[in-house]
Amino acid sequence: MNRDEIYRHQGMGGTSGIGQRCGLILVDFVNGFVDIDQLGGPHIEAAANATVPLLAAFRAKGLPVAHTRVVFEADGSNFNVFALRVKPLQKLTETAQGSQIVPQLQPVAGEWVVRKQTASAFFNTGLADWLHLKGVDTAIIVGCTTSGCVRASVVDSMQHNFRTVVISDCVGDRAIEPHDANLFDMQQKYADVMTRDEFLAQLK
């Protein structure tokens, strides 16, 4: 059997669908992850640009929006194993240019900016509680990188019992191979994967 046949044979690739209220999570759309000379990839900026209409739709409907940034202390006092393994992360301090959210996706009043030191937007951040408080049952996840912080956030979202949707053209990675492989795997086990326009048609 080929790959797709194996997954179908084992009953993978189901759907959790979209529930009653969506919340948008923009994972690490910061300058450093758009810049290929820092931590970025060639199509992450395209993913950020594709997210602009999606963010506008959430704002127009008054739906909850959260942004995440990786932020470490400038003196290194909260460096963890993640920062030791991926040393460029140590430069992402509160005021560093690389840690600032990209201009086209700047937060507005009422949108929470989550500062994190791990891959997942949910780990030790209180994001799940915030979404529950807002009445969210479906987490819509965009950002970067697909194989790293997006994937970790998707797995944790599902583990917090949120229906989870990944917007395929609004996530990006350093290379296309891990991007494609992780979109396939997330669709099989953890999340519904759809394009921005497919999702917006259902949001209406």
* Positions marked catalytic: 149
Largest CA distance in the chain: 53
Q: Read off φ and ψ for residue 28, nearest 5 degrees.
A: 60, 35
| Closest-CA residue to 92 (of 173, 27, 32) | 32
- Cα dihedral across residues 171, 173, 179, 183: positive or negative: negative
Distance CA 149, CA 147 (A): 7
Report which secondary-structure segment, H or E, holds 4.
helix 3-9
Distance CA 74, CA 77 (A): 8
